[in-house]
Amino acid sequence: MNTRIVEIWVGIFIAAGSAALFMLAMKVSNLATYTDDEGYVVTAKFEDASGLKVRSPVAMAGVRLGRVTDIKFDNQSLEAVVTMRIESQYNTLPKDTSASIYTAGLLGEKYVGLEPGGDEASLQNGDRIKLTQSSMVLEKLIGQFVSKFLNEDSSDKK
Amino acid sequence: MLNLLQEMGKRGLGVFERLGRGCILFYNIIMGLHTLIPRFGLVVYQVYSVGVLSLIIIVVSGLFVGMVLGLQGYNTLVDFGAEESLGIVVALALVRELGPVVTALLFAGRAGSALTAEIGLMKATEQLSAMEMMAIDPIRRVMAPRFLAGFIAMPLLAAIFSAVGVIGGYFVAVGLVGVDEGAFWSQMQDAVDLYDDIYNGVIKSVVFGVVVTWIAIFEGSDAIPTSEGVSRATTRTVVHSALAVLGLDFVLTALMFGEI
Amino acid sequence: MTDDILVKTRDLCFKRGERVIFDGVDIDIRRGSVTGIMGPSGTGKTTLLRLIGGQLFPDQGTVHVDGENVHELNHGQLYQLRQRMGMLFQNGALLTDLNVYDNVAFPLREHTNLSESLIHKLVLMKLEAVGLRGARDLMPTELSGGMARRVALARAIALDPMMIMYDEPFTGQDPISMGVLVRLIRLLNDALGLTSIIVSHDIQETLSIADEIYLLSGGKVVARGSTDELNASKSEWAQQFLKGQPDGPVPFHYSAVDYADDLLNGHPGRAQSRV
């Protein structure tokens, strides 16, 4: 076997393998939307963070701004502390932004949805989002729905 | 009865003896790897014979496995109206499991058996002995380059298998059954994680590559130096590699995705 | 270079499993000589070469080559020593994926940093010495047995060793290539100042070139001396071996129970062949 042909083939092989790895990373996985080390960190406490996972998306107005980086339990308040990293380009979120945990689609994965407030100052690294709404657990949702109806009924009668 | 026990004891000791010899060989190969640094050409030639020559079978199998996954996944998902998730099914199945495992099995059959036969024949025709007498260590000259080549080639082959498989799945999903192209890719990208899935898949394929190459080289160097001995060693390579790959796959999967 | 003896074994014992191959073998091989080691098949002649080369370890006794105890050297020292030893295997043991030229160049490329042009000259020189310069582009599979051995010989002398060990160099050769090999061994030995050890059971060929001959049997040296001394030897065994008589001290029959007993009492053998 001619040495040169062997070398060319090995070169093609290595290139094809690298290209395949690159394709898996860029086209198949979420690397393209990955920015782990940039950005700033904010935390939020939720009564219930069930279904939320590390690396779940954090979105505002349907656009992904960052990802959940940590979920912990707070011993004092008995709540879930969710840490998320927001990309540094989105640095004008108002301080009184609120966070809720939503479900993508009816049975899809959970994500943190942010809604802007009206404050002039913007969120900084290490800030805590104070207004939060927990995961929509289906049973609770139905419960809330029913009680809301009852309340409206009673207020109408007054 | 006593004979049976005796026979079993003998077999058991034989297994440990071979395991021990295999480990010593592994150690010697690892210790010999540094001698390849100035002579990387030896490795290039071996990458050709274990990697390039396995390309065709890997590409063809990958394509068909991906296409089958696409069809089967579609048949199941369409009942739930979730055929948009076909990309996830195809990609996760390939990247996490089928890519590394099927590639390793094919690799054992194509490259591993060839390695065993080659080294076994070199032993049977006294080429290894002759090298030793020429003061050339066959472990460093013959086995270490082949080992390193397997280590390099296997993850690349697995990546090619997975990538071609995803493309095969794409042809079936988008071309054949009419899944929306955007949904196929975006759902896939949302669900497949670089670290959890791709890196772990690559780690698996590296481990499989090392194990299969090691088994192949060991069986070759441990073969009885006759044509019958070499043919038996070749069979053993394929069988032992397959068992080792599937067993290790369970262990690695439990470690990586089990969250135990 | 004060010592006249290049290879010296003392009280060499070697067992393979239960079978005793050597039981106290003392051999001295003088520098510059051609020494024949002869004996019937299965007396461990090849094993002896492997012991000298350090590929096998004796159960007892020592092997000294050029004043060094082969089995006390570490890996590096042993490989240093082997660079000065050549060995010719029974079937040549050429590397099947290299052609003749590359086979001869192989030890040079592995052990030296010589330029390719110098290696080219050396290889052609060695191939010329064995008369196969014209066969340099052939692959080992295209060579006849005798040619393969000559190529292997060229390879063995590539590093200009101090000694060459020949393992059954004459087996299965036609008379012409046998004659060629016999001449080559003697010629190379004298021209290059080698020391040669020939392990063989081809009596005439070995006797014709060896300065000294050892006859091995039953794990022991049964006779030693020059060709003439052996021919005049009174040892019955030596006479039987040298003359190739079918019966003598070495019995025609493999040891067995009495024939008549066997026929009357023996169990009928099971069919063994599964092919």
Say whether pLDDT at B259 is over 60. Answer: no
Q: Does a structural domain hold residue A156? A: no
Q: How many CB pairs under 8 A join A and B?
A: 85
Highest mean pLDDT among A6-10, B158-162, B171-175: B158-162
Question: With b meaning 16 or more CB within 10 Å and e meaning fewer, what string describes A51-73?
Answer: ebeeebbbbbeeeebbbbbebee
pLDDT above 90 (res B6): no
pLDDT higher than 60, residue C86: yes
pLDDT at position B127 over 50: yes
A134 has pLDDT over 70: yes
CA-CA-CA-CA dihedral for C78, C80, C81, C84, to nearest 10: 150
Q: Does B190 touch chain A (CB under 8 A)?
A: yes
Contact B126 C85 (CB under 8 A): no
Chains in contact with chain B (at least 3 beta-carbon pairs closer than 8 A)? A, C
A44 and A26 within one domain: no
Least confident of B30-34, B220-224, C40-44: C40-44
Q: What does the pLDDT look like over B244-254, one tens digit per residue?
A: 999 999 999 98
Assign residue C134 a region (left: φ > 0; alpha: ψ between -120 and 50; beta: otherwise).
alpha
| pLDDT, position B10 | 87
Task: For an interface test with B, give the residue of C49, C106, C109 to mutate (most B CBs within 10 A).
Answer: C106
Same-domain status, A67 and A112: yes
Write out the two tokens for C18.
Answer: 């239960």
- Select from C79, C110, C155, C275 the residue whose CB has the most chain B CBs within 10 Å, as the one to mutate to test that interface: C110
- The percentage of residues in chain B with a pLDDT greater than 70, rounded to a whole number, is 99
Q: Which pLDDT belongs to residue C267?
A: 61
Shared domain for A54 and A126, answered yes or no, is: yes
What residues 225-254 of chain B have any CB closer than 8 A to a CB of chain C? none
b/e per residue, A104-129, with b = 16+ CB within 10 A?
eeeeeebbbbbeeeeeeeebeeebeb
**How far from chain centre, in Å, is Cα C31?**
17
Is residue A157, in this structure, part of any structural domain at all? no
Residues A5 and A27 in one domain: yes
pTM exceeds cut of 0.90: no
Taking an 8 Å cut-off on Cβ atoms, the answer to whether A29 and B193 are in contact is yes
A17 shares its domain with A59: no
- Domain presence at residue A151: no
For B157-171, B229-243, C62-76, which range has the lowest pLDDT when averaged over its residues? C62-76
Considering only CB atoms, which chain C residues are within 8 Å of B121?
96
Euclidean distance between the first and final Cα of chain A, in Å? Answer: 96
pLDDT band at C90 (very low <50, low <70, confident <90, very high): confident
A142 in contact with B, Cβ within 8 Å: no
Asked whether the beta carbons of A49 and A101 are under 8 A apart, the reply is: yes
CB contact under 8 A, C53 and B137: no
Tell me: pLDDT of A107 over 80: no
Within A38-143, strands assigned E span 40-46, 57-60, 63-74, 79-86, 98-103, 110-115, 128-129, 131-133
Interface test with A, best of B40, B52, B170, B204 (most A CBs within 10 A): B52
Which chains, if any, share at least 3 CB pairs under 8 A with chain C? B
Residue B260 — pLDDT band, cuts 50, 70, 90? very low
- What is the dihedral sign for C-alpha C244, C250, C251, C254? negative
Contact yes or no for B50/B115 (Cβ under 8 A)? yes
Helices C100-111, C116-129: inter-axial angle, 10-degree rounding: 130
Q: Coil, strand, or helix at residue C140?
A: helix
Q: Mutate which of B152, B189, B199 to disrupt the A interface (most A C-beta within 10 Å)?
A: B189
Domain that holds residue A64: 40-143
What is the predicted pLDDT for the residue at A35?
Answer: 53
The distance of B54 to chain A (nearest Cα, Å) reads: 10
Q: Tell me if A150 is assigned to some domain.
A: no
- Examine the domain organization and report whether A15 and A49 are in the same domain: no
Of the pLDDT bands very low, low, confident and very high (cuts 50, 70, 90), residue B53 is very high
Burial class (CB in 10 A: 0-12, 13-18, 19+), C257: exposed
Q: Collect all residues of chain B within an 8 Å Cβ-Cβ radius of residue A7.
A: 44
What pLDDT, in 10s, does the model give residues A37-60?
A: 678 888 888 888 877 877 788 888
**Residues of C (6-65) whose Cβ lies below 8 Å from B:** 50, 53, 55
Q: Tell me if A28 is assigned to some domain.
A: yes
B234 against C274, higher pLDDT: B234
Please give the pLDDT value at position A137: 67
- Best to test chain B binding among A7, A30, A33, A37 (most B CBs inside 10 Å): A30
pLDDT at C178 over 60: yes
Is B24 near chain C, with CB under 8 Å? Answer: no
Say whether both A58 and A78 belong to one domain: yes
ipTM: 0.81
What phi, psi does A112 have (nearest 5°)?
Answer: -95, 120
Residue A1, pLDDT > 60, answer: no
Helices (H), chain B: 2-32, 40-50, 55-77, 86-92, 99-107, 113-124, 127-133, 138, 144-170, 181-191, 200-221, 227-257
Chain C interface includes B37 (CB < 8 A): no
- Whether B121 has its CB under 8 Å from any CB of chain C: the answer is yes
Residue length, chain A?
158
Q: How confident is the model at residue A106 (pLDDT cuts 50, 70, 90)?
A: low
Minimum mean pLDDT range among A109-118, B139-148, C242-251: C242-251
- The answer to whether residues A78 and A9 belong to one domain is no
For range A117-127, the mean pLDDT = 84
pLDDT for residue A31: 66
Residues 6 or more apart whose CB falls under 8 angstroms from that of C108 comprise: C114, C119, C122, C123, C158, C159
Residues A71 and A125 in one domain: yes
Q: Is C36 left (phi over 0), alpha (psi -120 to 50) or beta?
A: beta
Residue carrying the six token digits 């192209």: B181
Residue from the list A9, A18, A30 with its beta carbon closest to the beta carbon of B189:
A30
Convert the pLDDT of each residue in C23-81 to its tens digit. Answer: 888 888 888 889 988 887 777 788 888 888 888 888 888 888 888 888 888 888 888 88
A108 and A92 part of one domain: yes
Within a domain: residue A152?
Answer: no
Interface contact A15, partner B, CB < 8 A:
no
C-alpha to C-alpha distance for C77 and C83, rounded to whole angstroms = 10
% pLDDT > 90, chain B: 58
> Is residue B46 very low, low, confident or very high in pLDDT (cuts 50, 70, 90)?
very high
Is B189–A33 a contact, with Cβ atoms under 8 angstroms apart? Answer: yes
Our count of domains for chain A comes to 2
Whether the per-residue pLDDT at C17 is higher than 60: the answer is: yes
Residues C87, B130: C-beta atoms closer than 8 Å: yes
B133/C111 CB distance under 8 A = no
Flag if B156 and A20 touch (Cβ within 8 Å): yes
* DSSP bridge partners of A64: A59
Q: Does A1 share its domain with A59? A: no
Instruction: Work out the number of other CB atoms within 10 angstroms of the CB of residue B187.
Output: 20
Q: What was the pLDDT predicted at C218?
A: 79
Residue appearing with tokens 């030596």: C238
Could you tell me if residue A19 is inside a domain? yes
How far is it, in rounded angstroms, from Cα A65 to Cα A88? 9
Which neighbouring-strand residues pair with A122?
A: A94
pLDDT at B242: 95
In a domain, A148, yes or no: no
Strands C195-200 and C163-167, sheet pairing: parallel
Do A119 and A91 share a structural domain?
yes
Identify which has the larger pLDDT, B99 or A63: B99
* Helical packing angle, B200-221 and B2-32, nearest 10°: 110
Given this model, what pLDDT does residue B107 score? 95
A37 touches B74 (CB < 8 A): no
Q: B126 CB near a chain C CB, below 8 Å? A: yes
Strand, helix or coil at B173?
helix
pLDDT digits (tens, 9 = 90+) for A71-83: 888 888 888 899 8
The distance of B159 to chain A (nearest Cα, Å) reads: 5
